[in-house]
Chains A and B, each alone.
Chain A
């Protein structure tokens, strides 16, 4: 058993490097997206606060699920989540400045809005990068993740949905597709989302899907829970990026269904890919 000596600084640096790499990998497409810059300076402070709070909860939940040590205390997960938030904000601020999106004539509010929106995206990337891009303790891909129940699987689905769908959630195309799609087409999108979730989770023999047969959720419920998590994630992302502003209930629902397709793909893939261990 390793003693409780301090972890070497080089190991910490490696972990931060993975985190920053993951943060960049995940947030660069969105850093190059105009609509995200606009969302930054049109979002109200209340919405930005809710975004920070929601991201923090998601980070803590994800750190609990992929906890590499059994019985890791909540305090440890909160510690790591705060680190990830800080790194995400720094990565976002640095890149926004490099691409000229923090103009000298801009106000603190404008800078803050953009850094917060991009920073939360980068923080999720830092968390996923730290957990997924490195070796597990003990070497290789061995070891089991900490056991987690259905709540953990929902958290993974939610995170997977965010990772995949956040790239398109702020774009004009989501609104345009929703406006121009017929009710039949929207129903088709919803049906396709459900079918893809069922396929990825149960029938495609994807790497890791065998693990899910021992999960606490049966296949039918698993598909439904995945789609539900995807729809909730899609709703949260559309709201965060201001895509519901000025939209009636029908239009808003249409947009959720449209974004629901990439969100469901992400949610299903998330449960397979984002768990720790082999």
Chain B
């Protein structure tokens, strides 16, 4: 059954323009990212924030940044102070991203040192 196609109204043109813009933006970004290269190794950096008391223990904020060109999976960070260590795990730290968390100690114990213990390359 052949029906003549009605002309497109302004809304349809607007949705088309939005779709074209979004698609062009996505393709443009991906093309640029592909030209940059990558799919390389993660580069993880850990930073430790100021410890704060909470409910009878001390909580230390931890931030992990991945400045590399590859994502890291199952990132384990160990934070040590005089008197003991604690560990925190991040399921995923994608390339160019950061994740935050907190580790707890019974009491403040002087200077804190943090290191990445292990991670997987997915």
A residues sitting closer than 8 Å to B (CB atoms) are 1-9, 12-13, 16, 38, 41-42, 44-46, 48-49, 52, 56, 68-72, 76, 79, 82-87, 89-90, 103, 105-110, 112-113, 115-116, 119, 137-138, 143-144, 242, 245
B residues sitting closer than 8 Å to A (CB atoms) are 1-12, 15-16, 18-23, 26-27, 29-31, 33-34, 38-39, 71, 73, 92, 94-100, 122
Q: How far is the CB of A225 from chain B (nearest CB, A)?
A: 28
Contacts A9-B11, A109-B95, A110-B94 hold; do A82 and B23 have CB atoms under 8 A apart? Answer: yes
Contacts A44-B34, A143-B1, A144-B1 hold; do A49 and B27 have CB atoms under 8 A apart? Answer: yes
Nearest B residue (CB) for A136: B1
A76 and B18 CA atoms in complex are apart in Å by 16
B94 touches A106 (CB 8 A): yes
A103 and B34 CA atoms in complex are apart in Å by 23
Q: How far is the CB of B18 from chain A (nearest CB, A)?
A: 5
Q: Tell me the interface secondary structure of chain A in the complex.
A: helix
B5 touches A69 (CB 8 A): yes
The A-B contact count (CB < 8 A) is 141
B96 touches A7 (CB 8 A): no
Q: How far is the CB of B21 from chain A (nearest CB, A)?
A: 8
A90 touches B22 (CB 8 A): yes
Q: Which residues of B contact A85 (CB under 8 A)?
A: 19, 22-23
A105 and B97 CA atoms in complex are apart in Å by 6
Q: How far is the CB of A74 from chain B (nearest CB, A)?
A: 13
A6 touches B7 (CB 8 A): yes
* Cβ-defined partner of B6 (8 Å) among A2, A44, A90: A2
Nearest B residue (CB) for A71: B2
8 contacts between A and B (CB under 8 A): A5-B7, A12-B15, A42-B122, A49-B31, A69-B2, A83-B12, A86-B16, A105-B97
* Cβ-defined partner of A46 (8 Å) among B27, B34, B98: B34
Q: Which residues of A contact B122 (CB under 8 A)?
A: 38, 42, 242, 245
A34 and B1 CA atoms in complex are apart in Å by 45
Q: How far is the CB of B9 from chain A (nearest CB, A)?
A: 5
B94 touches A7 (CB 8 A): no
A116 touches B92 (CB 8 A): no
Nearest A residue (CB) for B64: A105
Nearest B residue (CB) for A7: B6
